[in-house]
Amino acid sequence: MAKVHPFHSFETTCPFTSKQETFTIWMKSLILNGNGCTVFDSQGQIVFRVDNYDIRCADEVFLMDQKGNVLFTILRKKYKFSRVWEGFRSSNDQKEPNFRVRSKGNRIHREALTYEVKLGLEKNQPYSHRIECSTWKSSFCKISDQFGGLVAELRRKKASCGVDLGEDVVSMVVEPNIDLSLIMGLVVAYCLINCKM
């Protein structure tokens, strides 16, 4: 099967939300027999995508815009007792990651999970965010900033008649003045930690 390779763009701008926005994340790649996800805005237009082809839980993943321009390269880092993923923005010429996501919950007992997020690492001005899920296979997850304010929340999407669309379809609500590509990078890292793509 021929592969469509991502195009590394160093001119991609970072879209910020101007108001609260809702997105739909479909935990499927648009590539036949591929792994990844596709993100749609409220108008049904593709905003972001991840295509891992036939590899599940790859060590290197590209978050792309709808044209295939790479926004973040997300890499697995090997640490003894935790799963860590680091994200590098395509326009970042430095060797430090823009963000790092680390699991802090107890995976054995499937208790409430917390993921520590460090941002601003490339500027040597780190600050923290958190990703919290109520249970291991939670239908609800939230991302909060260093002050505990809500940044984004994810939950299983339901049809207008109230029917749950399953684990593969997630609704993501993002608060105003947030870098969408950065939040999506954090969501991709969270999914990779939990082998969801």
The CA-based angle 42-45-47, given to 5 degrees, is 95
Q: Please report the pLDDT score of residue 193 as a whole number.
A: 85
Q: Please report the pLDDT score of residue 109 as a whole number.
A: 52
pLDDT band at 150 (very low <50, low <70, confident <90, very high): very high
Q: Please report the pLDDT score of residue 65 as a whole number.
A: 93
pTM metric for this prediction: 0.84
Is the CB of residue 87 less than 8 Å from the CB of residue 74? yes
List beta partners, residue 33: none
Mean pLDDT for the chain?
82
DSSP designation for 195:
T
Between 81 and 14, name the one with better pLDDT: 81
Percent of the chain whose predicted confidence (pLDDT) is above 90: 44
Residue 3 structure tokens: 């592969």
Distant-in-sequence, close-in-space partners of 93: CB < 8 Å, separation ≥ 6:
none
Q: Please report the pLDDT score of residue 110 as a whole number.
A: 53
Other CB atoms within 10 Å distance of the CB of residue 71: 25
Between 9 and 107, name the one with better pLDDT: 107
Q: Please report the pLDDT score of residue 180 as a whole number.
A: 94
Between 5 and 162, name the one with better pLDDT: 162
53-110 pLDDT, tens digit per residue, is: 666 667 889 999 999 899 999 999 877 667 789 999 987 666 789 999 998 755 555 5
Mean pLDDT, rounded, for 115-144: 84
Ranges of H-type helices in the chain = 180-193
**Phi, psi of 14, rounded to the nearest 5 degrees:** -95, 110
pLDDT band at 5 (very low <50, low <70, confident <90, very high): very low
Q: Please report the pLDDT score of residue 12 as a whole number.
A: 39
Domains of the chain plus CATH, in order, are 21-193 (2.40.160.200)
